[in-house]
Amino acid sequence: MEVVRFNEMEEFNTPEGVMKPLFVSEKIAVIHLKIPAGLKVEPHSHPRDGIMILTKGRVRLASEREKAEINTGDLAFIPANFVTGLECEDDAEAILISLGAHYKTLDELKSILRRLNDANE
């Protein structure tokens, strides 16, 4: 068993919002995401299946084929390599789960996010 102390975890500014990596293994990665009001993330994809559970607020997801609005308590499954963008009018928060994570440790993910954080500043 592993216990994560949410308030002790490091945060990173990224183009997709403020990410706080919570847990990483070879099978799964869990990240808390703060999405600031007004954020627009251009359509892009990730190489692994992902789940977004919105814990606060409302966001719009849009792809070439469909659009969806998700609200507090909703879950969105985003298949690997599915191109989608995100828009957020008011502050929102989510838990992101990446299945079959391509990083193997929390330190490896933090290193990646640190580089994104430095590029954003």
Cβ atoms of 29 and 52 closer than 8 Å = no
The mean of the pLDDT values for the chain is 91
Distance (Å, rounded) from C-alpha 102 to C-alpha 99? Answer: 9
CA distances from 106 to 12, 36, 42, 90, 119 (A): 13, 24, 26, 29, 20
Q: Is 49 helix (H, G, I), strand (E, B) or coil?
A: coil
Block means of pLDDT (10 residues each) for the chain, 121 residues, are 91 90 91 96 92 97 92 96 94 95 82 78 62
Distance (Å, rounded) from C-alpha 29 to C-alpha 43? Answer: 21
Give pLDDT tens digits for 62-83.
988 889 999 999 999 999 999 9
Domain 26-120's class?
mainly beta
